[in-house]
Structure 1
Amino acid sequence: MYPSHSPAGRLTALGTQLIEIHHWLREELVRLRASLDAPDGGGDGLSRELRAHCVGFCAALQRHHTGEDAGAFQVLAEQAPELRPVLAALSEDHRAVASILTRVEELVAGPAAGPAVRAELDGLAALMESHFSYEERKLVAALDALTGGTAGELLGLDVPDGDPTFEERI
């Protein structure tokens, strides 16, 4: 993937950056779920590394959604009022995702067993896929029309450059 931003500002359309962020989050969730299937990943307890990856992923996803609610969604609501019902539905999804993330964080903070974490992550994956697909269908064109602002400011996360590791992104 080619870098889509620079320190000087946004070089590609914000809608494209949203898709790139979603793609990265999807990949990270796939990696996290796969690590539960590793021999030392999902048995009676979770490894310290897996717990850290899980907490980091939850924080990144929450930061993205919080950033959208406070950034891009506010701007879009002002500039494209016809999108307000879509934005409200997406914000409701954000609250549902936040509930799942809270449960995941509680599980990994305790003596979590892999199957309980796996069940939550499987539900999260289904919700994320539906949410991301809907958001991309409904908002990419409107986001592309926005000027100013960076992905970090409007979407809560910066666009991944190349193939960063998870730890480099959080």
Structure 2
Amino acid sequence: MTIRACGRAVLRAALILCLAAQAALAADTGEGKPVGPVTGLPIPRFVSMKATEANVRRGPSLTHRIDWVYRRKDLPLQITAEYGHWRRIQDRDGAGGWVHYSLLSGVRTVLFEEEATMRMKPVDTAPANALAQSGVVGRLGACEPRWCYVRTGGYGGWVHKSEIWGVGADELRE
């Protein structure tokens, strides 16, 4: 084993130990939900892309390799861990990695997973306002047990939670 390979192995082991310690130290919200050790906010939680481009890295530092680049502003993402100024995120497909916190926003957005009718009221029989195509990103508003209000492309309406990604199944919002 070369010195460089040995150094990488030591760094990987140190990162694993740090992440394990972080998970062990994560506080509890009192509702049985863990919170991040850096922000004190719930983990996991949804955020969105603030930047138009973000490097996704294998670990929480600039020295880690870039696996890919997100290039979609407002894309909803889920934070699954925190380490300093870094957040481990994942997208709707479960792909993810580490991004710098400055590239993320607390503004809530959702991604339409399928074509969805946006309705005037949160009932199946309400008149339709618009039809959102699969892959469209919208801004999240209020959420009831089965419905959320979403705005996109100048239109707004209520959609079933099952038709969007970026909101928890039991999440309620005013």
Structure with the higher fraction of residues in strand conformation: 2
TM-score (norm 2): 0.24
Structure with the higher fraction of residues in helix conformation: 1
Larger radius of gyration: 2
| Greater relative contact order structure (CA < 8 Å, 6+ sep) | 1
